[in-house]
A and B are shown apart, each in its own frame.
Chain A
Amino acid sequence: MRAHYLEAAGVRTVPADPRGVLTGTHYLDGDFACGEGAMAAGCRFVAGYPITPSTEVVERIGRRFPTVGGIFIQMEDELASMAAVVGGSWSGTKSMTVTSGPGFSLMMENIGLAAMMEAPCVIVDVQRAGPSTGLPTMVGQGDMMQARWGSHGDYGVIALSPRSPQEAFDLTIDAFNLSEIYRVPVLLMMDECVGHMTEKVVIPPADRIEVVPRRLTRQAPARYRPYRAGANLVPEMVRAGDGYRFHTTGLTHDERGYPAMNVATQEALVRRLVEKLRHNVDRILRIEEDGTEGADVVVVSYGITSRVAQLGVELARRQGAKVGTLRLVVCWPFPEARIRELAGRVKAFVVPEINFGQMVLEVERCAAGKAAAIGIPHAGGGVHDPEEICRTILGAAR
């Protein structure tokens, strides 16, 4: 069955290049599965800088790329890695970088450039516990707000959060496809647990994997305007070397891509950068719900925490609590409408996450006082105790 986001966007897809697809059933960790997903999605340029716990992704790619026609380059730092990815994107070759918290901070500069230039690319953040160097080898989910707001100014991103190595594979493909459809940087917000967890990963045959190719304009160079957007607010793209002689810049620019230092151009451009995701939000959102009908409490979670929360929910259900779950597969954009809707029917949302309260703020904002939003913070380095999640659910249901 065709994925909702592909169907909704109505885009043409092509089968994956079989050379990059390791069809079969494997026993892989999340990092390796992510690397395989990137290759299946058609990624052929990766620039990265080593950082725990993400290194296995680029190690996998470094080993496999020379046999699939890709180039991996280890850059001098994460500033360079992300800049190289934006340059790589404009060459027409699908491009990605991989990092963890400290490197993610350094990448913010050129994630902003990718957003401003509308260069499709994927950034994988295997989250560890922060702030600063924090716990390099241990889990965290503290980069969720940085993913949304980390670069200066206003722009939109898409962020996905896998809960298993299988999803690390699947969602990496989706991340590339979404970046091509909406011309935004797409962030794969993994965490150390999922990155280092080894499970069964089924990689389908290449002709069963739908890949969104770079959507190049068919307009003649003389008529083409690099930043003139159509109905879905996403402009048609070109790549370097095809005779369009285009210009692109991180400065505020008009439809020609030329700098225009005035309020009207800023308004038109930034509004479109923000609106192109808002306008398409229903085509992008992806959540998984279980037992939310008639529930008193809904547990909202993502990534590894959604698996731990599942245990807490089962414990609470055994004690008679009417509790449902809502998992964020796509974390950004946030499913505002659905949370608002549920807020009118439930007593409370419980939001466990391995940080001191990030996505819970979104839940609280959307619940707007109609239902409580109870966070369960965890400083990182480990996952929640399911008993604690159960206790919080029972308390909230009372």
Chain B
Amino acid sequence: MSTKTESGAAEPRIHPITPYIRMDRMPHIWCPTCGIGTVVKCFATALGRSKLDLDKVSVVSGIGCTGRVAGYVRMDSFHSTHGRALPFATGLKLGRPELTVAVISGDGDLIGIGGNHFIHAARRNMDLLVILVNNFIYGMTGGQNAPTTPLGARSSTMPFGNFERPFNLPHLAATCGATYVARWTSMHTAQMTRTFTEALKRKGFRFVEVVAPCSTLYARLNKLGTGLDLMTYYRDNFEIQNKADTRTLDLEFQGKIICGKFVDEERPTFLEAMETHYRGVLGEKYVPMPPEGGMLHGQD
């Protein structure tokens, strides 16, 4: 395939994010109008802008629709178990500290079954970029209720509407110790890309929630129309409030979506705190883990 450029010369048609994607795995499994692909595109663009050495970037996912991201990015990528992306990524990072490790997974995975790991990884300020795609339900298994399903919204296991109070994710992350917290919708591609680019350069536990449409299940169960209707809803109901008090960030059913960057502060990461502490108490006796990992000398 080729296309004529202005100069008239034929150039191969390569999408700008092709170098970041396993093209041999296309087409992907996501439904039309699903927001996850948009998040992947923004993440890939941010990686390009970050100028990071992609050989040293790893992506870890859990299970679910967003859990499939790891299978499509052309980096060292790990599709782990349900809910365990964060501890898996923790082991990967600590075993080779020079790696940049991103966790990309869904709300059910990171907050439902993986909630305990989420609060502890944030508490430790583990050096991970965590991108959570929030589609308000369990998509892969058929639209069941999630800890993010808004009050009153229908899910396949709450056909009469959800009565459990959902999490306010930016608030949860911030109160547990995340040092970078932001939220966008999948409509905000430019903002999301800028946030990812900035977050890739930060250290510590960086959390970005992306509200994304699931037209196949969430929208259908709640009679919200098509994917385009959901994007229209985002457009008409988002509000940017950088530095907003995270207590005010609850998401109500078809209500206002407050977006922006809420937290951006510095606190020693797990590895930095460990280094400082052991250097202080052990002095010369302290032997740090080498950045390239703890493989034995003489290994090849």
Contact = CB atoms under 8 A, between A and B. Distances in A.
Number of contact residues on A: which range applies? Answer: 35 or more
Given A91-B293, A258-B25, A241 B299 contact: no
A76 B124 CA distance: 11
B117 A113 contact: no
B290 A80 contact: no
Nearest to B277: A66
B82 to A, nearest CB: 8
Interface stretch (A248-256, A274-282, A317-325): A248-256
Contacts of B54: 245
B71 A249 contact: yes
Contacts of B58: 240-241
A17 interface: yes
B299 A213 contact: yes
A243 interface: yes
B300 A76 contact: no
Contact of B92 (A19, A88, A211): A88
Contacts of A240: 58, 76, 78, 92, 96, 99
Interface stretch (B183-191, B201-209, B280-288): B280-288
Interface string A333-346: 00000000000000
Contact of B88 (A83, A112, A216, A251): A83
Contacts of B99: 91, 240-241
Given A66-B282, A93-B95, A84 B79 contact: no
A86 interface: yes
Contact of A88 (B70, B79, B94, B286): B94
Nearest to B300: A216
Contact of B296 (A213, A244, A248): A213
Interface stretch (A42-50, A164-172, A196-204, A386-394): A42-50
Given A84-B88, A240-B92, A245-B75, A76 B117 contact: yes
B282 A44 contact: no
B25 A69 contact: no
A91 B91 CA distance: 8
Given A69-B287, A86-B88, A88-B94, 4 more contacts: A90-B92, A93-B293, A216-B300, A241-B56
A91 B295 CA distance: 9
B295 A214 contact: yes
B89 interface: yes
A100 interface: no
B80 A66 contact: no
A246 interface: yes
A226 to B, nearest CB: 11
Interface string A91-106: 1111100000000000
A92 B71 contact: no
A163 to B, nearest CB: 28
Contacts of A109: 81, 84
A14 B79 contact: no
Interface in B21-76: 22, 24-25, 54-56, 58, 60, 70-71, 74-76
Interface of B: 22, 24-25, 54-56, 58, 60, 70-71, 74-81, 83-84, 86-96, 98-99, 116-117, 120, 270, 274, 278, 282, 285-290, 292-300
A47 B120 CA distance: 14
A159 B120 CA distance: 32
Contact of B76 (A213, A216, A241): A241
Nearest to A247: B77
A67 B88 contact: no
Interface of A: 14-15, 17, 19, 42, 44-45, 47, 66-71, 73, 75-77, 79-81, 83-95, 109-110, 112-113, 211, 213-214, 216, 218, 239-251, 256, 258-259
A249 B87 contact: no
Contact of A87 (B83, B95, B278): B95
Contacts of A90: 76, 78, 91-92, 95
B55 A91 contact: no
The 8 closest A-B pairs by CB, nearest first: A91-B95, A44-B294, A87-B91, A84-B91, A88-B91, A249-B79, A93-B95, A80-B87
B81 A67 contact: no
A92 B95 contact: yes
B263 to A, nearest CB: 22
Given A87-B92, A113-B80, A245 B287 contact: no
A112 B80 CA distance: 11
Contact of A66 (B88, B287, B296): B287
Contacts of B299: 14, 213-214, 216
24 contacts: A17-B296, A66-B282, A69-B294, A79-B117, A80-B86, A83-B88, A85-B91, A87-B88, A88-B92, A90-B78, A91-B293, A92-B293, A93-B294, A94-B296, A110-B81, A214-B295, A218-B300, A240-B92, A245-B74, A247-B22, A247-B71, A249-B71, A249-B79, A256-B24
Nearest to B270: A73
A83 B84 contact: yes
Given A91-B99, A247-B70, A83 B87 contact: yes
Nearest to A110: B81
B294 A45 contact: yes
Contacts of B294: 42, 44-45, 69-71, 92-94
Nearest to B113: A79
